[in-house]
């Protein structure tokens, strides 16, 4: 039973790590371009129209099995083997889905799947070998200790993204920074819905720090957005005439990013149309846009929008509170902070060791010869 619980705890921790990445713009465990990212983006990573991440199945399934393993002996004997075997069959199915249908293997998913199949085997062997449920003194740890260890397995991956230090800002990006300013570098695609959602909010927050912000907008047009590159050209050409921020606002607000509409925006901004038209068709304009996009790709592109605020990297249209906190940190001149991975792991291991030491069953006190038992009759 201890082996089954250990495998369940491993699966719970790994499922929690996957859930973090499946519900975040900024993955904390899976690297961009990895098998994990491919499986997540395959169309099989979410259920019910993208509303439920598949790792939820692992958390719920292994959570139920772990709790059943801590239940009373009759409940264990009745429910643990069938639930574990059902989970093993599901794990085998998910593994084959990756290997055969998707054609990519996610490392963390494989860990969960293999642990699930091993858990099924452990439950089957335990059911055959256990003629009777072991007495509490034969258990390796108390049920309370096993419960705490299970909670640590789930909570640790969930809190790590909030504690881990962010990677340093790449030099190609920090080259745009100005000393003494709150430096904000926005990589965006004018057709990206999340970029369109965030841009006005980001500009509004920047206005709260009027005169203190160095705001730089760089282009990252995605190939799947047919009008994004043309909009980026319009922005670059307006920027060449000193109207970059105004053109960016107009493009993000516009429902139509067709070239004719972009030219009308140039007219409304009072641009030199001859210079604008020549700039839009100039191959050097496109080369410059692709050079900006390469900066983000080389830095490890994870999604749009990507915003650098001082030492902090933010991916996605996250809440205003996230950006205000980053602005405040940059205003205070704070650099990269966080808990090193080795320190976090050490704390987790020490905590687990303490729980194990506390949860080990105590041997009953020996009764010395001549002593009476505590419940013995006392007669005169």
Domain-located, residue 353: no
Buried b (16+ CB within 10 A) or exposed e, 210-228: eeebbbbbbbbbeeebebb
- Does residue 234 sit within a domain? yes
Residue 373: its pLDDT value, please?
47
Could you tell me the residue range of the domain that residue 191 belongs to?
A: 171-331
| Whether pTM exceeds 0.85 | no
Residue 344 falls inside a structural domain? no
Cα(370)–Cα(47) distance, rounded to whole angstroms? 69
Residue 342 in domain:
no
Q: Which residues pair with 81 in a beta bridge?
A: none
Are residues 131 and 84 located together in one domain of the fold?
yes
How many Å apart are CA 378 and CA 380, to the nearest integer?
7
**CA–CA separation, 309 and 312 (whole Å):** 5
Structural domain total, the chain: 2
Residue 367 domain flag: no
Question: Which residue from 216, 318, 202, 287 is spatially nearest to 252, judged by alpha carbons?
Answer: 202
Instruction: Give the model confidence (pLDDT) of 287-325 as tens digits.
Output: 999 999 999 999 988 889 999 999 999 988 988 999 999
The verdict on 134 and 18 lying in the same domain is yes
Rg value, the chain, Cα? 29
Nearest to 142 by CA among 357, 353, 359, 351: 359
Looking at residue 133, what is its pLDDT?
52
Question: Does residue 8 form part of some domain?
Answer: yes
Task: Supply 208's token pair.
Answer: 């709260």
The number of residues in the chain equals: 380
Question: Are 110 and 185 in the same domain?
Answer: no
State the pLDDT at residue 205.
96
Check whether residue 203 and residue 129 sit in a common domain. Answer: no
Clarify whether residues 95 and 234 are in a common domain: no
User: How many alpha carbons lie under 13 Å from residue 179 in its C-beta half-sphere?
Assistant: 0
* 3-state helix/strand/coil string of the chain: CHHHHHHHHHHHHHHHHHHHHHCCCCCCCCCCCCHHHHHHCCCCCEECCCCEECHHHHHHHHHHHHHHHCCCHHHHHHHHHHHHHHHHHHHHHHHHHHHHHHCCCCHHHHHHHHHHHHHHHHHHHHHHHCCCCCCHHHCCCCHHHHHHHHHHHHHHHHHHHHHCCCCCCCHHHHCCCCCCCEEEEEEECCCCHHHHHHHHHHHHHHHCCCCCEEEEEEECCCCCCCCHHHHHHHHHHHHCCCCHHHHHHHHHHCCCCCHHHHHHHHHHCCCCHHHHHHHHHCHHHHHHHHHHHHHHHHHHCCCCCEEEECCEEEECCCCHHHHHHHHHHHHCCCCCCCCCHHHHHHHHHHHHHHHHHHHCCCCCCCCCCCCCCCCCCCCC
Q: Rounded mean pLDDT of the chain?
A: 90
Q: Give the domain CATH number at 294.
A: 3.40.30.10
CATH number, domain containing residue 45: 1.20.1440
Whether 77 and 194 map to the same domain: the answer is no
Question: Do 246 and 301 fall into the same domain?
Answer: yes
Whose structure tokens read 């904390």?
28
Place of tokens 């909570």: 155
27 in any annotated domain = yes
Do 234 and 154 lie in a common domain?
no
Same domain, 149 and 262: no
Beta-strand relationship, 306-309 and 312-315: antiparallel
Whether residue 157 sits in one domain with residue 15: yes
Q: Is the same domain home to 284 and 206?
A: yes
What is the b/e burial string over 63-100, where b = at least 16 CB atoms within 10 angstroms of the residue's CB?
Answer: bebbebbbeeeeebeeebbebbbebbebbeebbebbee
Which one of 143, 164, 185 terminates a domain? 164
Q: What are phi and psi of 131, to 5 degrees?
A: -70, -35
User: Are residues 195 and 133 part of one domain?
Assistant: no
Cβ count within 10 A of residue 51: 7
pLDDT < 70 stretches in the chain: 32, 130-138, 363-380
């Amino acid at each position: 039973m201890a082996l089954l619980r250990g495998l369940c705890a491993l699966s719970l921790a790994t499922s929690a790590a996957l859930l973090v990445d499946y519900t975040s713009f900024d993955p904390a465990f899976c690297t961009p371009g990895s098998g994990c990212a491919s499986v997540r983006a395959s169309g099989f990573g979410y259920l019910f129209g993208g509303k439920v991440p598949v790792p939820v199945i692992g958390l719920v399934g292994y959570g139920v099995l772990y709790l059943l393993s801590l239940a009373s002996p009759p409940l264990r004997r009745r429910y643990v083997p069938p639930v574990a075997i059902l989970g093993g069959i599901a794990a085998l199915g998910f593994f084959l889905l990756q290997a055969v249908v998707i054609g990519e293997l996610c490392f963390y998913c494989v860990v969960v799947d293999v642990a699930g199949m091993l858990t099924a085997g452990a439950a089957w062997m335990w059911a055959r070998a256990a003629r009777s449920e072991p007495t509490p003194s034969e258990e390796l740890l108390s049920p309370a200790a096993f419960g705490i260890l299970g909670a640590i397995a789930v909570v640790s991956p969930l809190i790590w993204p909030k504690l881990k230090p962010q990677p340093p800002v790449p030099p190609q990006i920090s080259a745009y920074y100005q000393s003494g300013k709150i430096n904000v570098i926005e990589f965006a695609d004018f057709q990206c819905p999340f970029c369109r959602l965030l841009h006005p909010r980001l500009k509004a927050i920047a206005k709260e720090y009027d005169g203190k912000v160095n705001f730089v907008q760089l282009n990252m047009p995605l190939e799947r957005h047919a009008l994004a590159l043309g909009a980026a050209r319009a922005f670059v050409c307006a920027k060449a005439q000193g109207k970059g921020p105004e053109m960016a606002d107009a493009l993000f607000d516009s429902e139509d990013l067709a070239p004719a509409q972009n030219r009308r925006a140039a007219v409304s901004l009072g641009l030199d149309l001859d210079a604008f038209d020549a700039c839009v068709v100039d191959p050097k304009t496109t080369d410059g846009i692709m050079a900006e996009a390469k900066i983000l790709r080389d830095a490890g592109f994870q999604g749009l929008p990507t915003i650098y605020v001082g030492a902090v990297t933010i991916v996605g249209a996250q809440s205003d509170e996230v950006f205000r906190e980053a602005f405040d940190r940059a205003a205070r001149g704070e650099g990269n902070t966080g808990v090193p991975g080795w320190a976090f792991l050490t704390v987790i291991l020490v905590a687990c060791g303490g729980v194990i030491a506390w949860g080990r069953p105590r041997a009953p006190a020996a009764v010395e010869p001549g002593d009476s038992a505590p419940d013995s009759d006392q007669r005169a």
